Chains A and B, each alone.
Chain A
Amino acid sequence: MSRQRHVVAAIDEVGPGTSKRVNVAGRDIALFNVGGEFFALANKCPHESGPLCQGKIIGLAVADEPGKYRIERDGEFVKCSWHGWEFDIRTGQSWCDPATVRVRAYDTAVENGETLVRGPYVAETFPVAIEQNYVVVEI
């Protein structure tokens, strides 16, 4: 089946630094706004299936040597609310085990209502206004 574009939210429903749980074609998805960019991850931690939409959005704690702490890429990681595993919101990659653990990530785009009205897109129950911008997830 070819992939389809689904309108999942108006952009002002998901402010910068926040997340929103959306359902797309029966899939549970966590939508994140990182400084105006939108990213969509499966709302299911690959560890024990914790809901990533409830995770804290954080920066990455790093240290070049013991005792020298700093934060990098603030707001670009989500820490699962269940057991604290950290994931790169941009890629879904796990920080503690990047080689073998990642969350399914979906392509997103922001489109204006005018484009969407011309289609094709899927938003059966979603009213689209021409003057508004929307987040589109491709599945």
Chain B
Amino acid sequence: MTLAAPDTLARSGASSGAASPRTSVFGSPAIDCDLHIAVPSIKALMPYLDAYWRQQFVTRGIDRLSWNLTSDPPGAPISGRPDWRPATGKPGTSLPLLREKALDGFGVELAIANCIYGGAALHSEDMASVVCSAMNDWIAKEWLDAEPRLRASIVVPMNNPELAAQEIERCASDNRFAQVSMLVAQGEPLGKRRHWPIYAAAEKHGLPVCLHAGSLYHHPMTTNGYGSYFLEDYVAQAFAFESAVLSLVSEGVFAKYPALKIVFAESGVTWLPAALWRFNKTWRGVRAEIPWVKRPPMDIVRDNIRLTLQPFDEPDGAGRLERFCEQMKSDRMVLFSSDFPHWHYEGTDALPISPKSGLARRILYDNPRETFPRLGLRELAR
């Protein structure tokens, strides 16, 4: 990775406190906190592997596998809006399309890319680790070097938290990585101490940890076993986020790492208050089990958890986003996201409130800036 040239720093807006941020289609500056780039095929990563792994990938035929995640099928309608799909290849693989439709299309100042890929989910801890390193180097070179408005998420091998923490350390000096990213449904609850090296490294470097919808399929998406349809799996992602809230708070992740921010990406958002009413109520009676939790869970969640906007679950025109903020007693939790190229809405109709409202400004810009401290850094790359 190389230092961004001075002219690209100047153009990227956030890199200079003096420059006024660009105005989005919503009339105020905006930062997109979840859009997607995709590894077109394993072959794209081959130049970023060392000699041993390149040879292994070829001799074992691994370079011909798809490694598409079951929870993110590229052919499903929801995975790529028709006008956001490239002519060939998977949704999210075209930088020109991303520039035109997402960055220019919404007029965002910056956008944080997530790259969801089966390579990070492999059971082989070493192979998952080298694939993640290759992905991060590929992201930096092929995407971040090419587009100064783009920021990215450090992909980590989820099955080995020590190797994941090492990968965070390796990439952290490149400030274009704004967060760490993992899938929300893994082999065990995410608050367990086994995962803490990831949270320690992330907190140390001012990196929020994004938990993105998706599963390693070590378990079914529902607690009652495997369903039959994509529909069931997709809807059940919200239950995995509920489990994550429960585990992160109960196991004391935020007691141990109070500065850590967890960002839920593609959670649906509006399920959260009801889950917390139940959590708060039950905690009152059994809080002695977890005495490190010294405040009602909802208060902790309000301080430490953030949610990307799209997909946003609401009955049409029901004012649910305002209601969510009332119920959570906070307008600081929701972060604007286009979720490009996923198909949740048409045109640029990604904002379920009036763009003129103060809440819109917070969600579009202030909340992202407060959540991702690295977006404000001048010195971008190592």
Contacts and interface: CB of A to CB of B under 8 A. Distances in A.
Interface of A: 47, 58, 61-69, 83-86, 95-97
Contact of B285 (A62, A64, A85): A85
Nearest to A83: B285
Interface string B245-259: 000000110011000
Given A96-B296, A97-B296, A65 B255 contact: yes
A61 B288 contact: yes
B320 interface: no
Interface of B: 193, 251-252, 255-256, 283-288, 290-292, 296
Decide if the interface of chain B is mainly helix, strand, loop or mixed.
Answer: helix
B283 A66 contact: no
19 contacts: A58-B288, A61-B291, A63-B255, A63-B290, A63-B291, A64-B292, A65-B252, A65-B255, A65-B292, A66-B193, A66-B252, A67-B193, A68-B292, A83-B285, A84-B286, A85-B284, A96-B283, A96-B287, A97-B284
B292 A66 contact: yes
A54 to B, nearest CB: 15
B284 A84 contact: yes
Contacts of B288: 58, 61, 86
Given A65-B255, A65-B256, A66-B251, A96 B284 contact: yes
Contact of B256 (A47, A66, A85): A66
Task: Kindly name the residue among B193, B286, B288, B290 whose own CB sees the greatest number of chain A CB atoms within 10 A.
Answer: B288
Which residue, A63, A66, A68, has most C-beta atoms of chain B within 10 A? A66
Given A66-B255, A85-B285, 12 more contacts: A58-B288, A62-B291, A65-B256, A65-B292, A66-B290, A66-B292, A67-B252, A68-B292, A83-B284, A83-B285, A84-B284, A97-B284
Nearest to B254: A66
Nearest to A70: B291
Kindly name the residue among B193, B283, B284 whose own CB sees the greatest number of chain A CB atoms within 10 A. B284
A62 B291 CA distance: 5
Nearest to B253: A66
Contacts of B285: 83-85
